[in-house]
Chains A and B, each alone.
Chain A
Amino acid sequence: MLFNSFEFLLFLPVVFTLYWFVFSQSLRWQNILILIASYFFYGWWSIPFMGLLALSTLLDFLYGFQVASPNRKRAKLFLWLSIINNLGILGVFKYYNFFAHQFQEGFELLGLHTNPVLLNVALPIGISFYTFHGMSYVFDIYRQKQKPVSNFVDYAVFVSFFPLLVAGPIERANHLLPQVQKPRAFNYSQALDGCRLMLWGMFKKVVIADSLAETVDKMFNGYQHYNGLSLILGAVAFSFQIYGDFSGYSDIALGTAKLFGFELLSNFRFPYFSRDIAEFWRRWHISLSSWFRDYLYIPLGGSKQGKAKAVRNTFIIFIVSGFWHGASWNFIAWGFIHAVGFLPLLLLDRNRKNVTDVVAQNRRLPGIRELWQMCATFTFVTLAWIFFRADTMSLALNYLKHIGQSIISQPHQLSMLEGKSTFTYIIPIVLGDWWLRRDERKLRMVRSPVIRKLLYWVMAILILSKFSSNSSFIYFQF
């Protein structure tokens, strides 16, 4: 079930009504309702794969008890079982065909012809997210940061809570589980904030991202017919399409969770205002980058075992992060490019600048230096996005080659109208984010309640005038 679907518009009020009006006096029944609703939400896409979700959930729940064992050898054994189990599920459904093809090509180079058996199975939606939920739970128990949960329903809600089930944010047990386990009372401000977040998220997705998608598809599918400037515009349009799409989804997820009394982890903090790549990764898909930092980078030694190992670990997490997004060389290349961009900051010990403050912290506008830093970072990120968006490595490289070769003129130039309409969609999101950058969780954009309500109505009308049940979210494919 998509957030931007008619079914969700019916589903949400029903669950909300049952949650607060029928089961509000019983925490246990509220959690059971959330669990049933989450499986219904997931099963709307695929009933068979509900079984996989349930199996993954059950196994990690059981592993948790063993990993909490005072016998550290036993604990480590079950930790590895959980890792193998979760990565095994990912490996089979997401990566098997990729490796099969790579082995086939490898053998072809040696002159050996093979015909590997390929799996003709759809990628279960959300698999990259709920397996990471399970692994983080088991890891935290092993590190004694978390106690195993005795109530299976509570744990299952943590793994499969429907707002975050299919595209995150990737929650942590010590953040979400306590909220599941304690009684929740309806909070007016929280619910209102949730509605605002959902509205803004839907606006970014339906009005901004889906409108830019048309230009992006044209550029990437027919790059041979466009000149360099148009292709650059296409890449910029994709930067905002993916941001609008993914941050829009996250905002809808956070907003929906607030309606039920939950606070989820923030996943985006205005990443395109970053002044360097390190800051970008502290602001983009925060739940994933922090997951890799805590469960891969730090266990590998992080930056505490010398520069060489820090560089090695950095490349590992960026490449793995790229690979997490998709079983394809272009995603690995995307991760590698970011690692290369991060490297100078790491070597010069500048990767920990700009950690707490936001650009133009106490000013309305950025300074010249900050503006230059933001533009440079955005340009780098946009060039890397070309590899992310392209279906294959060769398409990405050809796209870049065409930018270089045809920077001036070629047939089928992007019309002025399309150029203008692309910037028409980019400007509101840039202005809106700039306004919110110091206080991203509160969407009180305008002080006057009358103007604020009018703005909300205008946003709702624009959303509904472009609403299409056929448009899915980019991150669903991961």
Chain B
Amino acid sequence: MKIDWAALGTVAGVSLVVTIALVGMFTLGISALSAATAAGRNGTSRLPARLGAYAAFAACTAGVGFGIYLIAS
């Protein structure tokens, strides 16, 4: 009986890392959006925070897109 431990380990490791990275990045994006709202209320510029938020969401999208590309190819 041959069991492919390496493949099982890969799935486990990749899943943990990718999940935490994606959720973390998305959360940072939401934090930044929230900061942008707060900045708008205080009258300071909301641009930096907003750009940060978009960068975080773009990183999430790119990560997901790359994952799907890996599977489809």
Q: Do A and B come from one complex?
A: no
Residues of A at under 8 Å CB distance from B?
A: none
Q: Report which B residues bind A (CB closer than 8 A).
A: none
